[in-house]
Amino acid sequence: MKKMEYQFRLAELFPEEISIVTTELVPVGCPALQALGAKVVRERVSEILDTMGRASAEAQALSSVITNADRMRNGEPDQKLYMFCDFASNKAVGLLKIGKKKLFLFDGTGTQHEMFPSCIMDFYIHESRQRQGAGKYLFEHMLRDEAIPVEHFAIDRPSDKFIYFLRRHYSLTKIMPQVNNFVVFDGFFRDRADYKGKKARWGGLDQGTPDKARAGDPRGHTTQLEDSLDYNNEPLIHLRNGGQLPPNYTQRRHNSTIGDILQPPPHQAQRNGNASNHWSHNM
Ligand SMILES: CC(C)(COP(=O)(O)OP(=O)(O)OC[C@H]1O[C@@H](n2cnc3c(N)ncnc32)[C@H](O)[C@@H]1OP(=O)(O)O)[C@@H](O)C(=O)NCCC(=O)NCCS
């Protein structure tokens, strides 16, 4: 069983059952900051983040950890982690990490947009508490706190469980495939206060960032790809469990459903495997 108990009292570190940890690794409103000192608070928070982050990566069968103290401290400056604790049992129940990223994203017409949306970077509920509403409770808290509609988030390679979660609780089913590892749903581009619509047509990897390519900037190519690790020549859907879209998916990419993604027909799955070198382009 993965660890969720600690030698110290969680209530000394976190002011609420759901509290925010920023890149400083000191929970906002930490009750015992004066008494313990910042160094001890950081050490304890680091232990929790390292343990929970490892558990999250294991739960998603990821080869590398997405959340730990080091990544939190040295990641994007506006990263924010919501930590969910059960003070009665002194257990850490789950975490939800968000942050903003520069992304190049396709809308439903195949037009590419340069944006800086809020993203879901990691989400984990301890195995002993899964499927009991804890995830919904944590996620709802974050949505209220951020005041951002769920469909306006981009999600860094969601797991299949998270895809089911979003369908179950928020009726999100229609995915717009992208060239990076992020998933956005129908409604992502609708009614956004933070984006007025700088658009460019996708011209393939060799074209680079449309603006830079036009200006003859040789770095345009890499700039376009800086938002994620793995890129492809065509828009695809990337799931954390290694799932990818069948090659012919692009022909019907604007009416994708979860059923299509999670259960590709056997002959398509076969073809996908054979064509993996063509469709997966590691930079
Ligand atoms: C995804 C996760 C955070 C959801 O938290 P949770 O507390 O289980 O979610 P809730 O209890 O609020 O909601 C339950 C819904 O989530 C989805 N879900 C959760 N676990 C699931 C599972 N094992 N299989 C399929 N769907 C699952 C279902 O839609 C479920 O509704 P249902 O029980 O009616 O089918 C949690 O399951 C988890 O930590 N999974 C492992 C890590 C992970 O995949 N994280 C997502 C990273 S992108």
- Domain spanning 1-97: which superfamily? Gcn5-related N-acetyltransferase (GNAT) (3.40.630.30)
| Residue 134 CA, closest ligand 1 atom number | 7
Q: State yes or no: pLDDT of 225 exceeds 50.
A: no
Q: What is the pLDDT of residue 270?
A: 43
Q: State yes or no: pLDDT of 226 exceeds 70.
A: no
Is the C-beta atom of 62 inside 6 A of ligand 1?
A: no
User: Average pLDDT, stretch 180-193?
Assistant: 93
| Total number of residues shown for the chain | 283
User: Average pLDDT, stretch 47-51?
Assistant: 97
Average pLDDT of every residue of the chain: 79
Among 39-53, 184-198, 252-266, the range of highest mean pLDDT = 39-53
Q: 82 C-alpha vs ligand 1 centroid, how far in Å? A: 17
- Alpha carbon of residue 88 to chain centroid: 30
Secondary structure (DSSP) of 170-225: H----EE-BSSSEEEETTTTTT-TT----EEE---GGG-SHHHHHTT-TTHHHHHT
Q: What is the pLDDT of residue 75?
A: 85
- Say which range, 32-46, 125-139, 225-239, has the weakest mean pLDDT: 225-239
Do residues 92 and 64 make contact, with C-beta atoms less than 8 angstroms apart? no
When pLDDT is cut at 50, 70 and 90, the band that residue 194 belongs to is confident
User: Average pLDDT, stretch 243-270?
Assistant: 44
Is the C-beta atom of 240 inside 6 A of ligand 1?
A: yes
Top pLDDT among 275 and 42 is at: 42
When pLDDT is cut at 50, 70 and 90, the band that residue 238 belongs to is low
When pLDDT is cut at 50, 70 and 90, the band that residue 195 belongs to is confident
Quick one: 226 exposed, middle or buried, by C-beta within 10 A (0-12, 13-18, 19+)?
middle
pLDDT in tens, 56-100: 999 999 999 999 999 999 988 889 999 999 999 999 999 999 999
Q: 165 C-alpha vs ligand 1 centroid, how far in Å? A: 5
pLDDT in tens, 166-185: 999 999 999 998 999 999 99
Side chain identity, residue 211: D
Q: What is the pLDDT of residue 217?
A: 35
Is the C-beta atom of 61 inside 6 A of ligand 1?
A: no
Q: What is the pLDDT of residue 242?
A: 62
Is the C-beta atom of 141 inside 6 A of ligand 1?
A: no
Parse the chain into domains and list their residue ranges. Answer: 1-97, 101-114+149-283
Top pLDDT among 280 and 193 is at: 193
Top pLDDT among 226 and 41 is at: 41
Those residues with Cβ within 8 angstroms of residue 194's Cβ, 6 or more apart along the chain or in another chain: 116, 117
Among 117, 123, 84, 86, smallest CA distance to 103 is for: 117
Q: What is the pLDDT of residue 263?
A: 43
Q: 41 C-alpha vs ligand 1 centroid, how far in Å? A: 30
Q: What is the pLDDT of residue 106?
A: 93
